[in-house]
Amino acid sequence: MTAFARNQWYVAAYSHEVGRELLGRTVLGEPLVLYRTEEDGAPVVLHDRCVHRRYPLSEAPTRLDGDRIVCGYHGFTYDTTGACVYVPGQKRVPRTARVASYPVVERDSLVWVWIGDPELADAGTIPRARHLDSPGWVTVRGMEPVDCDYGLLVDNLLDLSHETYLHGGYIGTPEVAETPITTEVDEGAGIVRVSRRMDDAECPPFYARSTGVRGRITRWQDIEYHAPCLYLLHSRIAPVGVEPGPDGSDPNGFHTEITYAITPSAGGRVYDFWAVSRDWATDDAEVSAFLRDSNHTVVMQDVTALNLLQRSLGTERAGYRELSINIDTGGLAARRILARLVEEGDKPVEGVR
């Protein structure tokens, strides 16, 4: 199993999922309850177990009373910091009655949470995905839990040659697997970039139907993986012979941002947050519906494959060997960075505590 890097930010939810209904999520094995305050609309993340008898606070009949959360079993009541402010049957609230609260930052329509040492939580280190919440961009999105080690999802996303085989008829064409990649690794920043430029490629249905482009295309796939959680795929297509500008601004080119947040839930389980953003055909609801359905299908093809892969790995003999080739360069770099982040998270940091 890929160990968890604890002192890192992770996406626990989309902004729209956090409201006045209690939302339960598990991140790095920690059960969490999320809600939004009435007072200023800020998201709150608390440990999802009542200190009394461990009732999950995200489950009915637990409810909000203003910005306080009232346990649905015997009524222990917590404020937004996790401090218990009421217990039934006595005046004195025991000093130890509190649940953990976690640093949380809402940015780019994502709710980021920090499970590790709260003193190390620095919102400035959260990677950005501005297209998810910018004027001029339209996004379709979803989340699927996958029953696999989060490392398998990282492998999957860093090697898009699988599109040709697993996602043929949707986003895969023969050229994806045929075209060599270039890989750049910024070890210090923990970023892996994998790029592929297909000069003369078939246009996959995902783009042909949404953009109306017919015939052969130039297709750029530029991955930027900010370990451990945020994965950006800057995707551009243009009819052969047309070069979109670096920001995809050429009117004949189509610039699409595919975002994934890879959030380890528990051992052998990962949340796969996915989003497709575009700055073209922004008022076309049919295009939105098509891209949502199409990408959901693609994600479910990955979910099925990864569930299966996890089950088969579970029956492998100890010490089995993988065989890696050029297409795995990005995935292997990601594994190295994740291993370093895990190790750093395990070490006491100088000057803190």
Which positions touch ligand FES (CB under 6 A)? Answer: 50, 52-53, 55, 71, 73-76
Helix axes 150-158, 329-346, angle to 10 degrees: 140
For residues 226 and 128, give the distance between their C-alpha atoms in angstroms, rounded to a whole number.
10
| Residue 52 site contact among Fe ion, ligand FES, none (CB < 5 to 8 Å, cut-off depends on kind) | ligand FES
Q: Decide whether 177 or 339 has the Cβ nearer to Fe ion.
A: 177
Query: Which residue number, 75 or 168, has a Cβ lying nearer to ligand FES?
Result: 75
Among 30, 48, 159, 302, which residue interacts with Fe ion (rule: CB under 5 A)? 302
Nearest CA to 227 out of 104, 348, 340, 347 is that of 340
Query: Applying CB under 5 A, which part among 8-16, 18-26, 300-308, 314-322 lies near Fe ion?
Result: 300-308
> What is the smallest separation between the CB atom of 51 and ligand FES, expressed in angstroms?
8
| Contact present, 64 and 22 (Cβ < 8 Å) | yes
Task: Give all strands of the β-sheet with 254-266 in edge-to-edge order.
Answer: 138-146, 269-278, 254-266, 230-239, 217-226, 191-201, 182-186
Report the alpha-carbon angle 293-295-299, nearest 5. 115
> Residue 127 is which amino acid?
P
- What length does the chain have? 353
Beta carbon nearer to ligand FES, 52 or 292 = 52
d(CA 41, CA 20): 9
User: Least distance to Fe ion from the beta carbon of 302, Å?
Assistant: 4
Q: How far is the CB of 33 from ligand FES (least distance, A)?
A: 12
CA angle 202, 207, 212 (to 5 degrees): 95
Residue 159 touches Fe ion, criterion: CB under 5 A:
no
Q: Is the separation of the CB atoms in 172 and 188 below 8 Å?
A: no
User: Nearer to ligand FES by C-beta: 22 or 132?
Assistant: 22
9 binds, among Fe ion, ligand FES, none (CB under 5 to 8 A by kind): none
Nearer to ligand FES, 73 or 280 (CB): 73
Q: How far is the CB of 76 from ligand FES (least distance, A)?
A: 4
Q: Give the interface with Fe ion as residue ranges (CB under 5 A).
A: 302
